[in-house]
Structure 1
Amino acid sequence: MKSHPISQLIKSIALAILLVPMLATAVKGQSKKSKEEWATLFNGKDINDWIVKIHHHDVSVNFGNTFRVEDGIIKVRYDQYGDFNEQFGHLYYKQPYSYYRLVMDYRFVGELQRGAPEYTIKNSGVMFHSQDPRSMPKEQNWPISVEMQFLAGLGDGKPRPTCNMCSPGTDVVYNGKVDPNHCINSTSATYEGDQWVHTELIVMGDSLVIHKVNGEEVLRYSKPQMGGGVVTGYDPALWEPGKPLTEGYIALQSEGQPIDFKNIELLNLEGCMDPKATNYKSYFIKSKPGACTYKK
């Protein structure tokens, strides 16, 4: 039986009336989605917001001008060194973070410094959940931290993935159990030469860590905690095996291989999650009630 045209028109109008508030609600919901506010950690001009700590030297001593800024790039260089002499160094951003996304670009350049270990050829990285550099004695070699390790191919045709995980003074849970290995390889491709590589690190406290290369996920693990070996010379008062690492400092690495870093930005995922607050962000995943601000 066919419907009468007028009856169909009435039904269409009624349906439209019902849909209007639903569409309005949907649009309103979309308008609440916050624009991501990425913080620029490196201003392209200097490293005044960063702290240097190099093995065999006191904190804030940038021996040999290891970390320098040229052409809008943080450059790691050893032209004022003699023998490398295990002077492993790190450049720490001035404040710790817990939940965040970190992006940066890196490229390897030049030749390995004389005296640097062979395993550091085209090897560097970014440390996170690190201890405060000011808590490190002069003779501590590496910070207690987790590393997203950067590697490049050696031109021999063998795979050498980047954005691996290494664990100086720490352990992580991988495939459901604490992994006994110091480093865990990612599934990334091998990047040869001095090309720029884009990386992303997603950190959610001590619950989950994800590594990405050029937008593709290549590794994930969880529960970073104090433990393992490798680190020497640390203050024993800080050593608490099994202690969850829920936050820490971010640091660029210097291991004897010249490397460049640029476009270092961070999206903080921890903050005010009250929609009534003036600084509410829909993308926050970790609540920090004390950070909320309200209109007077």
Structure 2
Amino acid sequence: MKTTLLVTVALISSLILVESCGSVKSNSNQPKTSESRSISLFNGKDLAGWYTFIKDRGRDADPKQVFTVQNGMIRVSGEEYGCITTNEEYSNYKLTVEFKWGQKTFAPRIDNARDNGILLHSTGQDGGYSGTWMHSIECQIIEGGTGDFLVVGNGSDKFALTSNVAPKKQGRGNVFMPGGQPLTINGGRIDWFARDPNWKDVLGFRGEKDVEKEAGKWNKIECVAEGDKIDIYLNGVLVNQAYRVKPTRGRIQIQSEGAEMFVRKVEIQPLAAH
């Protein structure tokens, strides 16, 4: 009996970790996925299943090789703004991306925080937003702000989300807070729960409570898109949540926005039927 009790306690402890900032994470809260149906969107050899779109160049025109595959990794050079986009649309899934920052940065963001992103539920025309990206819901990847939500929309309610936020802004942003006040946006952003209120757009920025690892180390970001909800986990920590998300399906884009980044895994797991 005593041995059984110790094993039970150990199992519970492994599922629930209390963060130093007071948040509680539990990977057991994630919807169940079907492991046998997991889909690798990157084969480690080439960009099969994706196409490139570069600002002012268009589709499948990448003369500077902003997007290449090297040593089993996708290299995003950052030299020009653009993205790789999946050929297929997806809905109701868990997307896992493993990434790390490189060393190079480019104008106009040479001295700014390293910045890219994953665009979910991307629909409409290539380059529909700023001549560069499809309209979409962005999971931000930026030093100090990885896990922020952005609505890369067209100003209509066709691209929108609702999140529970703290009663007062921290710094200049609305910050995700479980149990907070609902806020609906069709543009702009919702910051992850512990984004440093003194964040500055400078190269190498690190916040006191950052979950993202320092530049050069691998991070795992998981976007769980279930119906009209999206949860974002960074290195196992739930950092942001949205609901009443519009749209609820679309292509996936990975951005190039001035900073070198490497990606070694892009995988989708369809959510198991309820």
- TM-score norm. by structure 1 comes to 0.63
- How far 1:142 sits from its partner (Å)? 2.6
Name the SS for the 1:64 alignment partner: coil
Match of 2:150 among 166, 181, 190: 166
Q: Return the offset for 1:93.
A: 1.4
* Alignment-derived partner of residue 140 in structure 1: 131
Pick closer, same or farther for the CA change 1:248–1:117 going to 2, 3 Å: farther
Which residue is 1:40 aligned to?
40
CA drift of 1:224 comes to: 2.4
Question: What is the CA–CA distance in structure 1 between the aligned matches of 2:82 and 2:242, rounded to whole Å?
Answer: 26
% identical aligned pairs: 23
Letter in 2 for 1:284: A
Q: Deviations over 1:127-169 (max 9, x none)?
A: 1100255x546972332001111122xxxxxxx2421111111
Contact kept in structure 2, 1:161 and 1:191, CA below 8 Å: no
SS state at 1:212 partner: strand
Q: Secondary structure at the match of 1:258?
A: strand
Hey, what's the Cα distance between the residues in 2 that align with 1:34 and 1:127?
23
Which residue of 177, 190, 215 maps to 2:236? 215
Aligned residue-pair number: 204
Partners of 1:167 and 1:137 in 2: how far apart? 13
Residue 151 of structure 1 corresponds to 142
Question: In structure 2, what is the Cα distance between the partners aligned to 1:74 and 1:35?
Answer: 24
2:117 and 2:141 in contact (8 A); partners too: yes
Instruction: From the CA coordinates, give the structure whose radius of gyration is larger.
Output: 1
Amino acid at match of 1:196: W
Query: Contact 2:66/2:76 (CA < 8 Å) preserved in 1?
Result: yes
Higher fraction of strand: 2
1:58-104: CA deviation from partner (whole Å, max 9, x where unpaired)? 212124111000000000115xx5xxxxx420101110001100001
Structure having the higher helix fraction is: 1
Give CA deviations for 1:240-287 in whole Å, capped at 9, x if unaligned: xxxxx0210011110010101111110123xxxxxxxxxxxxx224xx
Give the counterpart letter for 2:263 in structure 1. F
Distance of 2:137 and 2:261 partners within structure 1: 19
Matched, 1:49 2:49: yes
For 1:92, the aligned partner's letter is T
- Name the SS of the counterpart of 1:125 in structure 2: strand
* TM-score normalised by the chain length of structure 2: 0.68
- Give the corresponding residue for 1:292: none
**3-state SS, counterpart of residue 97 of structure 1:** coil
Q: Distance in 2 between matches of 1:138 and 1:222?
A: 23
- Letter matched to residue 178 of structure 1: T
Q: Structure 2 matches for 1:174-253, cutoff 5 A? A: 174-175=163-164, 176-179=182-185, 182-187=188-193, 189-205=211-227, 207-225=228-246, 245-253=247-255
Compute the RMSD of aligned alpha carbons: 2.4
Quick check: 1:150–1:163 contact (8 Å CA) kept in 2? yes
Task: State the structure with bigger RCO (CA 8 A, min sep 6), 1 or 2.
Answer: 2
SS in 1 for 2:64: helix
Structure 2 Cα separation of the partners of residues 217 and 35 of structure 1: 21
Q: Secondary structure of 1:109's match?
A: strand
The answer as to whether partners of 1:102 and 1:202 remain within 8 angstroms in 2 is: yes
The change in CA–CA distance for 1:123 and 1:92 in structure 2 (over 3 A counts) is: same
Q: Tell me the SS of whatever aligns to 1:220.
A: strand
Cross-structure match for 1:16 = none
- Report if the CA contact (8 A) 2:129-2:135 is conserved: no
- Counterpart of 1:58, as a letter, is G
Structure 1 residue runs without a partner (length 5+): 1-32, 82-86, 153-159, 226-244, 270-282, 286-296
Give the superposition deviation at 1:171: 2.4
Deviations 1:196-224 (A, max 9, x none): 1011000023x210000112211101122
